[in-house]
């Protein structure tokens, strides 16, 4: 977040930050002590990027899958300077109870973001959490409330805000006025990423012996275990997330909001469903459109479908910003600026690869190599915000991530209810819609208790 962005924040938030300011101990934290809850794909990818840019010691790791946490401990011991193997835990409450880390990473499935993140903040830890902020609006709001109450720095891993080529596009295309007045924005994902397993190919089975499936399920509804659930396949089910809108739209909507300095949408309208692939076990939509209406008549329109050909194979997951003077195409891989009347871009930039400086990027298993530089930048920004506590917020501060995440949650509610939703950010309610407001908080499975923004 720039100084200009920071000064634009509401006076109430600024006053709260001042009232709860405590001097940072960042200068004395050598090395930075780090814990990780959720040692799967992105948890390890994010953690290993931190080790590239900071004097950090991974003290502890936690995962409900004993095999995964043991593998992660081996990997980390080979990558951190001390060579030490982190302590391992299966229950997030125990790793937090140790109170011996400065930064807690939360890289669990979405339905397990809010509770560990809030408990870590209550224990005095700063938090680096994967997107989206949770699975419902009230969870997300509670995370913002906890961060402000306990004066914690919370960075959400919507790392488009730290992507070098997108920062260039913002500074040299949008802010330089090359687009002129923004007229419309399209955001999309056309990758065929919805799980297609059927009951026949993915029947109900017993969970693996290495997995504590009851704790893995946590506050979510209890579903029979099948091979889709774990690892990584849980995004196929709405019980654990918010479908492709919660997974992919949140990134592109957040990118556009950051690029264009947008706040909350005034209204959210969405439609779609399972229209084509009706045989698979997945219960997330295979087709969905969502329209986010912002100030001055600007519409940001999301589309995804997990079938058919891509409209533009060069931009399968992207944001297309249409201005009166030209068009900006932006993705995780590159950007291109095409002036009005031209057929080819006059400005473009690919994702920054830094293999010479970080050769391990070339061989690391499962790393999205085109995103590595953005992840490092995101960590640097987070660490700077920690060192300037009370003076700056991280670029993907919890409040910004809350706006993007909650907007996506509202899109799914709009599709579910079959009507547009008008949002009032001052009251955090849908205007004149009792039914929709009743759905802002998902039911929790006992004995877990849903976070309350007023009681965190």
From the centroid of its chain, how far is CA 75? 24
Torsional sign, CA 151, 152, 158, 161? positive
Contact 100, 59 (CB under 8 A): yes
pLDDT digits over 234-273, tens only? 999 999 999 999 999 999 999 999 999 999 999 999 999 9
- pLDDT class for 30, splitting at 50, 70, 90? confident
pLDDT (average), residues 411-415: 98
Share of the chain above pLDDT 70, in %: 94
Look up the pTM and report it. 0.93
HSE value, Cβ hemisphere, 13 Å, CA-based, for 334: 10
Whole-number pLDDT of residue 144: 98
Q: How much is the average pLDDT of 367-379?
A: 98
Per-residue pLDDT, 21: 28
Which of 13-22, 149-158, 430-439, 445-454 bottoms out in mean pLDDT, i.e. has the lowest?
A: 13-22
pLDDT tens digits along 166-203? 999 999 999 999 999 999 999 999 999 999 999 999 99
Contacts of 44 (CB under 8 A, 6+ apart): 72, 75, 366
pLDDT of residue 355 exceeding 70: yes
Residues in CB range of 238: below 8 A, 6 or more apart: 283, 284, 412
* Long-range contacts, 257-260 (Cβ 8 Å, 24+): 257/400, 257/403, 257/404, 258/160, 258/161, 258/170, 258/395, 258/400, 259/166, 259/169, 259/170, 259/174, 259/319, 259/321, 259/330, 260/174, 260/182, 260/185, 260/298, 260/321
On whether the CB atoms of residues 386 and 126 are closer than 8 A, the answer is yes
For residue 258, the model assigns a pLDDT of 98
Domains of the chain: 3-162+357-399 (3.40.50.720)
Q: Which pLDDT value is given to residue 296?
A: 87
pLDDT digits (tens, 9 = 90+) for 267-294: 999 999 999 999 999 999 999 999 999 9
Is the confidence at residue 5, as pLDDT, over 90? no
For residue 2, pLDDT over 80 is answered with no
From the list 260, 268, 292, the residue with the least C-alpha distance to 416 is 268
Give the model confidence (pLDDT) of 116-173 as tens digits: 999 999 999 999 999 999 999 999 999 999 999 999 999 999 999 999 999 999 999 9
Confidence of residue 12 (pLDDT cuts 50, 70, 90): very low
Mean pLDDT of the chain: 94
pLDDT at 29: 56
| Tokens 């955090």, located at residue | 428
């Amino acid at each position: 977040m720039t100084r200009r962005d920071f000064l634009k924040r509401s006076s109430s938030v600024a006053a709260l930050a001042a009232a709860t300011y405590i001097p940072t101990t960042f200068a004395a934290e050598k090395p930075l002590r780090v814990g990780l809850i959720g040692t799967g794909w992105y948890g390890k990818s994010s953690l290993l990027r931190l080790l590239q840019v900071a004097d950090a010691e991974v003290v502890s790791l936690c995962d409900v899958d004993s095999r995964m946490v043991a593998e992660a401990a081996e990997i980390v011991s080979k990558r951190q300077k001390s060579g030490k193997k982190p302590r391992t835990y299966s229950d997030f409450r125990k790793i937090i109870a140790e109170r011996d880390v400065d930064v807690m990473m939360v890289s669990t499935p979405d339905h397990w973001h809010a509770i560990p993140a809030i408990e870590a903040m209550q224990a005095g830890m700063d938090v680096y959490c994967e997107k989206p902020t949770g699975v419902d609006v009230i969870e997300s709001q509670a995370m913002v409330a906890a961060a402000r109450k306990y004066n914690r720095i919370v960075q959400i891993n919507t790392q488009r805000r730290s992507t070098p080529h997108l920062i260039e596009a913002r500074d040299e295309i949008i802010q330089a006025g090359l687009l002129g007045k923004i007229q419309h924005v399209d955001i999309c994902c056309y990758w065929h990423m919805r799980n297609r397993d059927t009951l026949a190919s993915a029947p109900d089975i017993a969970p693996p012996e290495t997995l504590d499936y009851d704790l893995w399920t946590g506050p979510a509804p209890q579903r029979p275990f099948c091979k889709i659930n774990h690892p990584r396949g849980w995004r196929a089910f709405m019980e654990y997330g918010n479908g492709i809108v919660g997974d992919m739209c949140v990134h592109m909507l957040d990118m556009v909001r950051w690029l264009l300095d947008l706040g909350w949408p005034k209204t959210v309208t969405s439609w779609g469903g399972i229209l084509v692939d009706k045989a698979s076990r997945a219960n997330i939509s295979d087709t969905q459109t969502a329209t986010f209406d912002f100030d001055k008549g600007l519409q940001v329109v999301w589309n995804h479908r997990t079938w058919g050909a891509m409209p533009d194979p060069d931009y399968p997951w992207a944001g297309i910003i249409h201005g009166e003077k030209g068009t900006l195409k932006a993705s995780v891989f590159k950007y291109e600026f095409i002036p009005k009347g031209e057929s080819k871009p006059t400005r473009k930039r690919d994702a920054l690869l830094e293999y010479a400086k970080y050769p391990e990027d070339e061989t690391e298993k499962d790393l999205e190599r085109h995103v590595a530089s953005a992840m490092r930048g995101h960590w640097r920004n987070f660490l700077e915000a920690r060192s300037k506590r009370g003076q700056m917020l991280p670029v993907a501060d919890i409040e910004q991530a809350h706006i993007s995440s909650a907007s996506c949650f509202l899109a799914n509610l709009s599709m579910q209810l079959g009507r547009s939703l008008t949002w009032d950010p001052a009251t955090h309610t849908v205007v004149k819609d009792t039914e929709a407001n009743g759905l802002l908080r998902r039911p929790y499975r006992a004995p877990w208790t849903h976070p309350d923004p007023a009681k965190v």
